[in-house]
Copies of this chain bind each other. A is one copy, B any other.
Amino acid sequence: MTSNIEIQRVEKSKIDSVDFNNLPFGSVYSDHMLTCDFVDGKWQTPKVEPFAPISLDPSAKIFHYGQSIFEGMKAYKDADGNMMLFRPLENCKRLNKSAERLVIPQIPEDIFMDGLKKLLEIDSAWIPTNEGSSLYIRPFMFATGNGFHASPADAYKFVICTAPSGAYFAGKVKVLIEEKYARAANGGVGYAKAGGNYAAQFYPTQLAIEKGYNQVIWTDDNTHQFIEEAGAMNIFVRINDTLITSPTSDRILDGITRKSILQIAEDNGIQTEVRKISVGEVVEAAKNGNLKEMFGAGTAAVISPIAGFGYQENDFDLPELENPYAQQLKKLITDIQTNKTEDPYGWRVMV
């Protein structure tokens, strides 16, 4: 345990103002946040303090040069009041991979883990227990150092906020396979959870929404012939009984939900393949009835079944199956996450 976390509690909790039966996603915030500043070449003492505005000079590099990275995690509470996280060290490691690519200093694992646990202890009442709800956790780091010179900042802030949250998507999800825009370059930052990767998706996503879809399926920027990611999630395709997902690369996020699903699927007798998926084969499989399922996988939505997709002005509906992989796998993974079953993998971390 980090010997030193400064703690300043709110004078009065705002929890009574929150309707835990009608939680939106990520827009109601718990009482406290963890903060830690990197200045003078080192991380200072982390603090748990009231969730409150952050003050930054107009010349802070976050405003100008996009040095910002984040993670998404969830905390759950079981019927006995035990609190748990899912593979939290993986998020810390990935945050540091993103940090390396964006030239942001690495956050020490003990500040990340001990700070997070202390924050959850103090705000434990904010972890929802309703089915389908959870405490969404948002660790992020950004440049606070000043200057209009296009170079890395000399100061940064690490913050963890939490938000009791309901479902990310409501209703059926239809996606559009992208033919013009792209989210990532070869040799770029697509594999990092960099803020700029998300803003870059908004415009094409908005065009897709105007056409009646919810999300874009990203394809490679060079040929648009290979499926890479689904909006802000990894993508899985089931052709006949094989579950396929694209390999990670410098364009594709190494999703923790993605790799957990691959492991669980294999251990539950589902054949998996990690390989490039061509748009052509997906369209062909949709036409001849071999395309059984598509779903997105990520922390926020866990598994988000896709009801249909559009490509080149054609729409393809996916069949409604009895007991789809998406449903089986979502139950298997959330049962582990919420302490309803054994965890043979050691993924669950009690707080």
Q: Is A323 in contact with chain B by the CB < 8 A criterion? A: no
A323 CB to nearest B CB, Å: 30
Q: Which residues of B contact A57 (CB under 8 A)?
A: 53-54
What residue of chain B has the Cβ atom nearest to residue A198's Cβ? B65
Q: Is A172 in contact with chain B by the CB < 8 A criterion? A: no
Q: Which residues of B contact A159 (CB under 8 A)?
A: 58, 63
A68 CB to nearest B CB, Å: 6
Judge whether B168 and A199 touch: CB under 8 Å.
Answer: no
Q: Is A256 in contact with chain B by the CB < 8 A criterion? A: no
What residue of chain B has the Cβ atom nearest to residue A55's Cβ? B53
Judge whether B195 and A168 touch: CB under 8 Å.
Answer: no
Judge whether B148 and A27 touch: CB under 8 Å.
Answer: yes
Judge whether A70 and B62 touch: CB under 8 Å.
Answer: no
Q: Is A188 in contact with chain B by the CB < 8 A criterion? A: yes
A134 CB to nearest B CB, Å: 13
Q: Is A33 in contact with chain B by the CB < 8 A criterion? A: yes
Q: CB-defined interface of A93-119 with B at 8 Å, one 1/0 digit per residue?
A: 000000011110000000000000000
Judge whether A27 and B180 touch: CB under 8 Å.
Answer: no
Using known A-B contacts A66-B195, A198-B65, determine if residue A206 contacts B152 with beta carbons closer than 8 Å: yes
Using known A-B contacts A101-B203, A148-B27, determine if residue A64 contacts B198 with beta carbons closer than 8 Å: yes
Using known A-B contacts A188-B183, A197-B66, determine if residue A152 contacts B27 with beta carbons closer than 8 Å: no
Q: Is A181 in contact with chain B by the CB < 8 A criterion? A: yes
Judge whether B199 and A188 touch: CB under 8 Å.
Answer: no
Q: Is A302 in contact with chain B by the CB < 8 A criterion? A: no
Judge whether B103 and A202 touch: CB under 8 Å.
Answer: yes
Give A116-159 interface residues, CB cut-off 8 Å to B.
136, 138, 140, 142, 146-152, 159
Q: List 17 A-B contacts (CB under 8 A).
A: A27-B146, A51-B58, A53-B55, A53-B56, A54-B58, A59-B163, A63-B68, A65-B199, A103-B203, A103-B206, A138-B148, A150-B231, A151-B205, A182-B188, A186-B221, A187-B204, A189-B196
If A63-B159, A221-B222 are given as contacts, then 4 extra A-B residue pairs at C-beta distance below 8 Å, sorted by A number, are A68-B199, A103-B206, A182-B186, A182-B187
Residues of A with Cβ closer than 8 Å to B? 25-27, 29, 33, 51-59, 62-68, 70, 72, 100-103, 136, 138, 140, 142, 146-152, 159, 161, 163, 165, 168, 178, 180-189, 194-206, 221-222, 231-232, 300
